Amino acid sequence: MKVQPIAAQLPESRPERPGGKKREYLVQARDVSVFYGDKPALHGVTLDIEQGKVTSLIGPSGCGKTTFLKCINRMNDLVENCRVEGRITVAGQDIYAPDVDVVALRAHIGMVFQRPNPFPKSIFENVAYGLRIHGMTRSKTELADRVEAALKRAALWEEVHDRLHEPGNGLSGGQQQRLCIARAIAIEPRIILMDEPASALDPIATARIEALIDELRGDYTIVIVTHSMQQAARVSQNTAFFHMGEIVEYGATKRLFTSPRDERTQNYITGRIG
Amino acid sequence: MTDTSGRTLDFTARPAALRRRHAAEARFRMAGRLAILLAFGFLVLMLGAIAHTGTGALKQTQIRLQVALPADAPASTDPAKADFGGLLKQALRARFPEVSGRKDKRRLYRLLSIGAEERLREAMLEAPAPGAQERVLTLWLPASDEVDLLVKHDQPGRLGEQEQRWVAQLRESGEIRVAFNRGFFLNGDSREPELAGIASALAGTAWTLAVCFALSFPIGILGAIYLEEFARKGRWSSFIEVNINNLAAVPSIVFGLLGLAVFLNLFGLPRSSPLVGGMVLALMTLPTIIIASRAALRAVPPAIREAALGIGATRVQTVFHHVVPLALPGMLTGTIVGMARALGETAPLLMIGMVAFIVDIPGSILEPATALPVQIFLWADSPERAFLEKTSAAIIVLITFLVFMNLIAILMRMKFRKRF
């Protein structure tokens, strides 16, 4: 199933870039609306997310950016009375089609949450769990190798290699969050969704997470929700500004922060609203 | 003590309003301490009274008697033919040769318990094979309940002067001792207080609780997990929740009536059996377990569920790998609290006939049995004074059981507790 390029009709759905290079869009949202009961949280969001890039979703509290993020791996299914309308495709497949298995979907779309939430198990078990349930390793040594690889990729190996069997929640907040990233990337997802991954961390731990996000770019398509405009400017290539459940502006990060086209974007990034 | 603005700052002054606030606090503290002291005092009083009356049942008065076995005594291998009563009477007459007359003799015989015959039989079986010549066995035989009371508590009860004289005589010559009452833990119930024991009631309680646990634990835990983690929240689930909460408050005797009507009359299950008792108690325990388990599940942070679902675990994997292990201490505590309540329950068991006089120790869940609290009820209802201390002793055993179960609950909570 191939989604027809519809950028011509919906110019605002794609970040424009100078130069006519062909871009790959992994996630394509068309006219997505979300309701919690009768209360609408998102109206008609249309957005294409570029493959291998970091896309940040910014906006004031309650603007729907996290709601949109959770639509991409269908975490909203867990919320009672939540209804999603519109169409979201990932690699061309409609993820809300009736024959889609959420478990398979989530195995390909990792998620990192606002507060670090390692399992109350050992560091090793935290990373190994996903590999185990998806049956991705055949032997114990393979399992150990992949756990090590994931921890190295998440820049945590140096700090924990001598205490892999100690509890994961004995680590510091920043280390826990990197452990959660290691847990997510261990099962080789295509996309990683991050819901304000650094908001509970101090500036030094935040800097490490940001460096890690930059490091992971290219191999993974990353969508990050953030409150911090500086963070969005630092880590992302594309930025979408959400306001009152709508996308106000979407574009290359550099362009959006230097010459916003919408007045509301301008007001938000200069600190007048939000 | 003035600051730069000229206002006085005195932290030691206590204006009336502040004094009143402090006084209110002091009054509340006092009232709290008093309440705790009162509660503790009542507890000590209750336990003390029970322990004071009950410890007597752990001891038994015994009379030493020399029983002569005639040369032609029946073979000990065939005790059915032996006249143990006759041998004992003979021994008593030999000890008190001055007693004559039928009435007096009958009084004399009543010094010993009926259990003495049993003891003599055992002794004869233990003794080496009888030879042709006459033998004399020296035995400590259980005294009757009235002698027991006289010796232990100095209560003559229905004993006449003559009997009291005999007991005094035996005491002087060291032919009466007070020994540990093994029978209390090894015997079943008996009409004779000095022979009555709690073994049958204990076994009945153990079988009943085993059935109750086997039914209520898995059903309760799985029901709670389903309701909390899988069921759609809606009109039906709130209807079920309201009903479970109501069931937890239903008086236990109603469950007994239900057991009588359904398990006994409709299904025809055996009356007085631990099977039916356990089923009735399981019905009663289920709401407690479900409510406690749901609370424990609800206390598990949603972040753990999100984490598991987020890396593609199924619902069942999420629940059984991550949520249940964290909720288990709370679930076990709820279960044990429910079981402890079931342990002390009497009323529903009365309804299904577990109030029977059970001498034999039940060997399975289908045999007639009684339970500890019912045994206490039965003994408390008995006219013989000697049952008073038996009642208290049985209560001590019941409380020990309860303390033991709560201890297990605490240990389990400590073992399974995890930080999250």
DSSP A232-260: HHHH-SEEEEEETTEEEEEEEHHHHHHS-
* Shortest Cα distance, chain A CAs vs residue B211, angstroms: 34
Pairwise CB contact (< 8 Å): A113 & B309: no
Q: How far is CA B216 from CA B223, B279, B289, B290, B336, in A?
A: 10, 9, 8, 9, 11
Q: What is the DSSP letter of A85?
A: E
CB contact residues (below 8 A), chain B span 297-316, against chain A: 301, 303-314
- The torsion region of residue B368 among left (phi > 0), alpha (psi -120 to 50) and beta comes to beta
* Shortest Cα distance, chain A CAs vs residue B306, angstroms: 8
The confidence band for B84, taking pLDDT boundaries of 50, 70 and 90, is confident
Residues of chain B neighbouring A119 (CB-CB closer than 8 A) = 304, 307-308, 322
Q: At what angle do helices B387-416 and B199-225 cross, to 10 degrees?
A: 30
Residues of chain A neighbouring B305 (CB-CB closer than 8 A) = 78
Among A80, A169, A184, the residue with its CB nearest the CB of B311 is A184
pLDDT computed for residue B48 by the predictor:
93
| Digit-coded pLDDT (tens) for A190-241 | 999 999 998 888 899 899 999 999 989 888 999 999 988 889 999 999 999 9
Higher pLDDT, B82 or B307: B307
Tell me which residues of chain A have a C-beta less than 8 Å from any C-beta of chain B: 73, 75, 78, 80, 103-107, 110-111, 113, 115, 117-120, 129-130, 133-134, 167, 169, 180, 183-184, 187
Residue A4: pLDDT above 50?
no
The correct CATH number of B199-419 out of 2.40.50.100, 3.40.50.300, 3.30.70.260, 1.10.3720.10 is: 1.10.3720.10
| Digit-coded pLDDT (tens) for B140-181 | 888 888 888 888 888 887 788 888 888 888 888 888 888 888
* Shortest Cα distance, chain B CAs vs residue A58, angstroms: 22
**Angstrom distance (rounded) from CA A216 to CA A110:** 13
**Angstrom distance (rounded) from CA A267 to CA A273:** 6
Q: How far is CA A142 from CA A135, A149, A243, B6, in A?
A: 12, 10, 46, 78
The confidence band for B75, taking pLDDT boundaries of 50, 70 and 90, is low
Question: How many inter-chain contacts (A to B, CB under 8 Å) are there?
Answer: 68
Best residue in B304, B311, B322, B417 for a mutation probing chain A (most A CBs within 10 Å): B311
| Digit-coded pLDDT (tens) for A242-251 | 999 999 999 9
Using the CB atoms, write b or e for B107-136: b if 16+ within 10 Å. Answer: bbbbbbbebbbbbbeebbeeeeebeeeeee
Contacts for A10-16: CB closer than 8 Å, 24+ residues apart = A10/A46, A12/A46, A12/A247, A12/A249, A12/A250, A13/A46, A13/A47, A13/A48, A13/A250, A14/A48, A14/A250, A15/A50, A15/A237, A15/A238, A15/A250, A15/A251, A15/A252, A16/A251, A16/A252, A16/A255
Residues spanned by CATH 3.40.50.300 within chain A? 1-108+193-274
* Shortest Cα distance, chain B CAs vs residue A130, angstroms: 6
Among A106, A113, A117, the residue with its CB nearest the CB of B312 is A106
Residue A2: pLDDT above 60?
no
Residue A8: pLDDT above 50?
no
Q: How far is CA B116 from CA B84, B91, B322, in A?
A: 9, 12, 62
* Shortest Cα distance, chain A CAs vs residue B302, angstroms: 10
Residues A56 and A238: beta-carbon distance below 8 Å:
yes
CB contact residues (below 8 A), chain B span 195-254, against chain A: 233
Nearest chain B alpha carbon to A114: B303
Pairwise CB contact (< 8 Å): B307 & A113: yes
**Angstrom distance (rounded) from CA A257 to CA A250:** 11
| Matching residue, tokens 């010549």 | B133
Give me the residue spans of the domains in chain B. 56-181, 199-419
Among B303, B308, B312, the residue with its CB nearest the CB of A107 is B312
Q: What is the DSSP letter of A122?
A: B
* Phi, psi (deg, nearest 5) at residue B262: -95, -55
CATH number given to A1-108+193-274: 3.40.50.300
Nearest chain B alpha carbon to A133: B313
